[in-house]
Amino acid sequence: MDHTTFADTVVSRCAYYRRICGLPAGIQSSRSRIVVRAGMIGAITMPGSLGRRVRDDLLHRRMILGPVICHVRSGRLTYLCRPDLPDDVRLFSKLFALNVSIVPPGGEIALPSPADSRSEYRCWIVLPRDTFRPSGLVLVDAIAKVAK
Domain span at residue 98? Answer: 10-146
Cβ neighbours for 56, distance < 8 A, ≥ 6 positions apart: 146
For residue 4, what are the CA distances in angstroms to 1, 7, 10, 11, 68?
A: 9, 7, 15, 15, 22
- Is 82 a member of any domain? yes
Q: What integer pLDDT is reported at residue 117 of this predicted model?
A: 63
Closest to 143 in 3D by CA, of 110, 102, 89, 105: 102
Number of domains in the chain: 1
C-beta neighbour count of 117 within 10 angstroms: 12
The answer to the question of residue 86 being in a domain is: yes
Question: What percent of the residues of the chain are helix, what percent strand, and what percent coil, each to the nearest 5?
Answer: 35, 25, 40
Q: Is residue 4 one of the residues assigned to a domain?
A: no
In-domain check, residue 1: no
User: With contact defined as beta carbons under 8 Å apart, do 10 and 27 qualify?
Assistant: yes
The string of pLDDT tens digits covering residues 47-58 is 999 999 999 999
Task: Give the pLDDT confidence of 64-93 residue by residue, as tens digits.
Answer: 999 999 999 999 999 999 999 999 999 999
Confirm whether 5 is domain-assigned.
Answer: no
Tell if the pTM clears 0.95, that is, is over it.
no
The answer to whether 77 and 69 have CB atoms below 8 angstroms apart is: yes
